[in-house]
A and B are shown apart, each in its own frame.
Chain A
Amino acid sequence: MVIPILGLLAGLALGLLVSFQVPLTYVKYSAIAILAAVDTLLGGVRAQCEGRFDLRVFLSGFVVNTLFAAGLTALGDLLGLDIYLGAVVAFSIRIFNNIGFIRRDLLGLVWKTPPLEAGET
């Protein structure tokens, strides 16, 4: 668990040090893509907690979710419709869900709490 966190920190440090900037036209899309990527990241952690982590699912989800979120936002811009709001809501809910599951799983690992019941986070 420590190594991925170190990777995250290293990525943050790299991003702050490098003077690369997102082109202004794509700022909106990259923000949504980040949301999707964070969601997938948490999904990966949760899957590992539940012992059903699949590398192919994780990587394909990481790439496809990210691209699809950005693509959806772009489509919304083409239509003059704020479709990205849908992506924001969906990914936010999923992120909260994932965090809830991870919390449960970790608590269960430490204190042997009973398995999660449906509908409860």
Chain B
Amino acid sequence: MTPRSVFAGRRWQLALTAAALVVGFVLAVQVRTERLIETNLQVTSGRLGEVAYRYRQVEARQAALRGRLAELRREIADEEQQAAAGRAATEALAADLARMRVLSGLTPVHGPGVLVMIADSTRPLKPGEDPNLVLIHYSDVHAVVATLFAAGAEAVAVNDERVVGTTGIACVGTTILCNTRRLAPPYRIEAIGDPHALAAAAMAQGGILDELRAFQFPVTVTVESDVRLSAYTGTFVHQFARPVDAGR
């Protein structure tokens, strides 16, 4: 028998060819896959389990980091929101403060208003007449200021001394005291507010100026388009007054 005749069986040839075809195919695919794994992962297929383990670990860590990132992003957003809220609150406070400063006379202000000038009477005294009758008293100045405030004045000054919440107008001997300054005639009372309302109130019949004029005091009321008042320069002391708690 020769090799040729030994391997001549048709069934054998067919079966072996089919099997060889399958083996060859799978072998080639396997080799290609293995080479792919080696080039891509730098490990042999035997260590794929290890690679998978590492991969899962890295993936878990990445997921954790992703979660942390989202958390940090949320925190940043929160902080930003809080900062914005804080800024808004601060702005509101600043606006409030500015308004309060204006109202309390701590800032120089200007605006339309009136100028009231009053002075001691120049008429000669009759013999035996009380000299008080020709002098402007603190009560007259106070009455003018009160009239102007009542007519809606937002800022008032007497001889350039701002009238604020704690201002007292008092009599000290022969002069008038406003805040801590002694006033000397003529008295220049300036007020900022609706000029017509202020002028009307000042010149109202039976009002203080009307009365002073009746007693021959020199009185003038002028409407000013731009009255300029300087700021209150004194101090605010509250030693005894305490705010009442809102809850009580």
* Residues 117-148 of chain B, each 1 if its beta carbon lies under 8 Å from chain A, else 0: 00000000000000000000000000000000
- Chain B residues whose C-beta falls within 8 Å of the C-beta of A1 in the assembled complex: 3-4, 7
Q: Give me 19 A-to-B residue pairs in the complex whose CB atoms sit less than 8 angstroms apart, sorted by A's number.
A: A3-B17, A4-B17, A9-B24, A10-B24, A11-B25, A11-B28, A12-B28, A15-B31, A20-B29, A21-B33, A22-B29, A24-B45, A31-B30, A34-B30, A37-B23, A40-B19, A41-B23, A48-B9, A51-B6
The residues of B with any CB-CB pair to A shorter than 8 Å are 1-4, 6-7, 9, 11-13, 15-34, 36-37, 45-46, 48
A17 to chain B, nearest CB (A): 9
- Chain A residues whose C-beta falls within 8 Å of the C-beta of B46 in the assembled complex: 28
Verify if A5 is at the interface (C-beta below 8 Å from B): yes
Chain A: interface residue total (CB-CB under 8 A): 43
B233 to chain A, nearest CB (A): 88
A11 touches B3 (CB 8 A): no
A11/B24 contact (C-beta < 8 A), A27-B33, A106-B3 known: yes
A58 touches B30 (CB 8 A): no
Q: Among the listed B12, B34, B36, which residue makes an inter-chain contact with A48, where contact means beta carbons less than 8 Å apart?
A: B12
Which of A84-114 touch B at CB < 8 Å?
A: 106, 109-110
